[in-house]
Amino acid sequence: MSSAPSSLPAPLDLLTAVRERRTVDLTRLKPDPIPHAVLLTLLEAANWAPTHGRTEPWRFVVFTGEGRMRLAEVLAGSLVRLKGEEQPDPEVLRTQQARQRLAPVWIAVAAEPAEQPRMPLHEEQWAVACAVQTLMLAARSLGIASKWITNAPSLHPHTREALGFGERASMMGLVYLGYPQGEWPSGERRPIEDKVRWVEGAARGGTAGGAG
């Protein structure tokens, strides 16, 4: 990855960023814009996610400023289709616009396989998931909060088409970014020991037994 611009704050070390990445609610974000150079740094980090066959299937559309209202229109249109209605309710659009304004940056994410794909779709989608996680970790390292949304409107075919993703693409949701208000939120995890089994040394008696 290329070095970060000198204007960026010193990033957290990787393990600290992993432990301290948090989902922050829209209502707890500052309206402050995120500099373009910072967004490029985050996207460049995502671009180095693992990708089987080096297909690099991640695709992003970044919405900032009044561009966020375009995303609001698209999502309102997807909500209409989900409800089986023909025309959007103006109140639905206003609500969606207000929601989009709560975060200074929204990123639409899709997985787009090659025209003649060498890898199954699920592997391409997993690669994109790795790219999103990498982006969110890079964001935390620079003091930026994030959330990955995969609700029905964000995954709807109308959203994919309206945002200009190709026919082969599959929507992977939306990520919003913003600086959090107040102190950085804390989090908890159950002990890793409760979630791991170790297999060490040579197997005896043929196959290993199942979990007890």
- 36 is a domain residue: yes
Q: How many domains does the chain have?
A: 1
- 108 is a domain residue: yes
Cα dihedral 19, 25, 28, 31 in deg (nearest 10): 100
State the Cα–Cα distance between residues 20 and 143, nearest whole angstrom: 10
Give Cα 170 to chain centroid, integer Å.
14
- 158 is a domain residue: yes
Identify which of 61, 7, 65, 25 has the alpha carbon closest to the alpha carbon of residue 169: 61
- 212 is a domain residue: no
The pTM (predicted TM-score) of the whole model is 0.86
CATH of the domain at 50: 3.40.109.10
Query: For residues 49 and 202, which has the higher predicted lDDT (pLDDT)?
Result: 49
- 204 is a domain residue: no
Is residue 58 within 8 Å of 131, Cβ to Cβ? yes
- 23 is a domain residue: yes
- 5 is a domain residue: no
- Give the model confidence (pLDDT) of 73-132 as tens digits: 999 999 999 999 877 789 999 999 999 999 999 999 999 987 777 878 889 999 999 999
The domain of 174 spans 14-64+103-181
- Give the model confidence (pLDDT) of 128-169 as tens digits: 999 999 999 999 999 999 999 999 999 999 999 999 999 999
Which residues fall within 8 angstroms of residue 86, CB to CB, at 6 or more apart?
Answer: 80
State the Cα–Cα distance between residues 88 and 82, nearest whole angstrom: 11
- 78 is a domain residue: no
